[in-house]
Amino acid sequence: MAALYRKYRPQDFDEVVGQEAIVRTLKNAISSGQVRQAYLFAGPRGTGKTSLARILAKGLNCLQGPTPTPDKVCNPCVTIANGNSLDVIEMDAASQRGIDDIREIRERVVLQPAEGRYKVYILDEAHQLTDAAWNALLKLIEEPPPHLVFVFCTTDLSKVLPTVRSRCQTFVFARPRLPELVRLLRRVADGEEIQVPDQALALVARGARGSFRDAVSTLDQLASATEKNITVQSVLQLLGAVEEEALFRLCDLVVDRDTAGALTFVEELSEQGQDLGRLVVDLLEHLRHLMLVQHMGEVPDTLPVTEETRERLRAQANQLGEATVIRLVDLLAVAVEDMRQGGDPRLPLELALVKVTRPGSDLSRESLSYRLEQLETRGHVPTAPVPGTVPETRLEQAPVEAVAMVAPPSLELEQLQEAWLRTILPAVEERSIPAASVLREAHPAGLAEDTLTVEFPASASFHRQLAEEPKNATLLADALYEVTGRHLGLAFAEGEARHDELEIDEPAGEEKILELVKETLDAHERED
């Protein structure tokens, strides 16, 4: 018994789905006698390239033709459909890719067709032909015998030589839209008496990623596994896909800032046997849909979702802020990269959920940017004041409600100590390399009432003196505001060297610091 995708592959131009422009061009070419000597069909796998090449061969060799409507019952049409026509030769360029195979073609093409009007050569995966094989074909493609037609099918158009593409009429096949795939699956299901709801067909179509063959093959497998009684749950189990309800629920937990709930839900999905790698991929797709709705103001017609899902996307896009969506997408990209390298996506997924539901726990610059965007959505955020430039009258005019609404996030000393080398000093270095070199000898030692104590070891008293200079202190204060979103006062002190400092070289001396200042700022010492 033939596989369903072979049984239901299109047999004439009218049965081809999703390639209207290509079908119209080929039908017009046959009707007007303008058939070209070589065609190049390019596009993703399973979009109908080889099927359309066979239909073209039928139109050319049908006993009623050449005709854009082959009768499908004459001997040429039947033998072409069955793949045993003497006039239509199908070759797999993945295994017949050398110059010897091309020489064999050149020897055979001089022979007249056995039954039809044309000899049609269909080369599948044509991009795998070697350059030498292509070059051997060039003359034959450009000046073939009048009875010869080439159809090259490829999934990678960029690998086909430009000299070949210039000699062919090229058609790029598009992925079918979700409604087109669902209609095809419904036709197959009805023809095979398969009981399946539309929601399950939509899941199959979405999992096929635009491939007719993959969609019908999945339906065939499901029909065998369920004795032709397919349910939504059976589709989810076979595909390993995440149910839409789970994706909406996870995003609702992010809206509620429910960190514990989000982590617990991930644990539940894992215990149910859900592939967390697939969860990351499906969640990214769901976030993409939300992002499109937020920025376009509506659900695009091209999204592969049902009408019910469209309404839920509109509602959730209004609840989940734009900044949150973009931040979560960035964080999940780490999980995707880990999966590509063979890592477990669970920890990156959980970290992403923690960081997006508790942004105060993350002092990275990306997190700060996200938190500021969050504040902007709740009220107007005043720009960072520069000492001596903000009139007092502006502060008096600011409404109390707005000031309370943008209260700075909480901060702990441990967070500053963890971010000192990773984030704060690089922010200082962007402003002044010498200042960053000076501060690299210090560490945050205390935080009380928005005043940060920066401690230097006793051996680095010269560095402390440089750090206390107003210019350098201001640079540090600006960097702290950039990283934490808080205006912190500064106090400088000397203390005992920390254990990790004892293991490194002695701090740079006065002469080295002066040399660095001269080199960086192109400065020179002034003689009084």
Tell me where in the chain the CATH 3.30.300.180 domain(s) lie.
416-521
Residue closest to 184 by CA, chosen among 48, 63, 277? 48
The first and second tokens of residue 362, run together, are 């993350």
The model's confidence at residue 361, banded by pLDDT at 50, 70 and 90, is: low
Q: Which helix (H) or strand (E) holds 245?
A: helix 244-255
The per-residue pLDDT for 523 is 63
Summarize pLDDT for 313-349 with one digit per residue, the tens. Answer: 888 888 888 888 888 888 888 888 877 777 788 888 8
Contact assessment for residue 172 and residue 62, using Cβ atoms and an 8 Å cutoff:
no
Per the DSSP assignment, residues forming a β-bridge with 151 are: 39, 122
Helix (H, G, I), strand (E, B) or coil at 40: strand
The architecture CATH gives domain 178-239: Orthogonal Bundle (1.10)
The first and second tokens of residue 20, run together, are 């209207």
The domain made up of 416-521 has a fold known as GMP Synthetase; Chain A, domain 3 (3.30.300)
Residue 528: other Cβ atoms inside 10 A: 2
Tell me where in the chain the CATH 1.20.272.10 domain(s) lie.
244-366
Q: How far apart are CA 140 and CA 152, in angstroms?
A: 14
Tell me where in the chain the CATH 3.40.50.300 domain(s) lie.
4-172
pLDDT at position 353 over 50: yes
- At 166, the amino acid letter reads S
Residue closest to 195 by CA, chosen among 228, 237, 233? 228
pLDDT at position 187 over 70: yes
Q: Which of 116-155 are b and which e, b meaning 16 or more Cβ less than 10 Å from the residue's Cβ? A: bbbbbbbbbbbbbbeeebbebbeebbeebeebbbbbbbbb
The per-residue pLDDT for 402 is 41
Length of the chain: 528
Better pLDDT: 499 or 355 = 355
Summarize pLDDT for 71-92 with one digit per residue, the tens. Answer: 888 998 999 988 888 888 888 8
Residue closest to 45 by CA, chosen among 134, 149, 158, 176? 176
Tell me where in the chain the CATH 1.10.8.60 domain(s) lie.
178-239
The architecture CATH gives domain 244-366: Up-down Bundle (1.20)
β-pairing, 451-457 with 443-448? antiparallel
Radius of gyration of the chain, Cα coordinates, nearest whole angstrom:
34
Residues 6+ apart with CB under 8 A from 9: 48, 51
First to last CA, the chain: 101
Q: Which of 485-508 are b and which e, b meaning 16 or more Cβ less than 10 Å from the residue's Cβ? A: beebebebeeeebeeebeeeeebb
The per-residue pLDDT for 386 is 37
Residue closest to 70 by CA, chosen among 121, 21, 30, 18? 30
Better pLDDT: 269 or 521 = 269
Summarize pLDDT for 216-243 with one digit per residue, the tens. Answer: 998 998 888 888 888 888 887 777 667 7
The per-residue pLDDT for 209 is 77
Q: How far apart are CA 305 and CA 320, in angstroms?
A: 19
The first and second tokens of residue 274, run together, are 């859900």
Q: How far apart are CA 473 and CA 460, in angstroms?
A: 16
Phi-psi region of 492 (alpha: psi -120 to 50; beta: other; left: phi over 0): beta
Q: What is the distance, to the nearest Å, from the Cα of residue 233 to the centroid of all Cα atoms in its chain? A: 27
pLDDT at position 511 over 70: no
Phi-psi region of 44 (alpha: psi -120 to 50; beta: other; left: phi over 0): beta
Residues 6+ apart with CB under 8 A from 475: 428, 431, 432, 435
> To the nearest whole number, what is the mean pLDDT of the chain?
80
Summarize pLDDT for 444-466 with one digit per residue, the tens. Answer: 888 887 888 888 888 888 888 88
Q: How far apart are CA 120 and CA 110, in angstroms?
A: 13
Better pLDDT: 415 or 475 = 475
> What letter does residue 407 receive in the DSSP assignment?
P
The first and second tokens of residue 273, run together, are 């046997």
Summarize pLDDT for 389-442 with one digit per residue, the tens. Answer: 334 433 344 444 443 444 555 677 887 887 788 788 888 888 888 888 888 888
Q: What is the pTM of this model?
A: 0.58
Contact assessment for residue 122 and residue 89, using Cβ atoms and an 8 Å cutoff:
yes
The domain made up of 4-172 has a fold known as Rossmann fold (3.40.50)
Q: Which of 270-301 are b and which e, b meaning 16 or more Cβ less than 10 Å from the residue's Cβ? A: eeeebbbbebbbbbbebbebbbbbbeeeebee
418-to-363, 378, 381, 443 alpha-carbon distances in Å: 9, 29, 27, 10
Q: How far apart are CA 425 and CA 428, in angstroms?
A: 5
β-pairing, 451-457 with 489-495? parallel
Contact assessment for residue 423 and residue 364, using Cβ atoms and an 8 Å cutoff:
yes
Q: What is the distance, to the nearest Å, from the Cα of residue 136 to the centroid of all Cα atoms in its chain? A: 39
The first and second tokens of residue 200, run together, are 């399950």
21-to-58, 172, 332 alpha-carbon distances in Å: 19, 10, 38
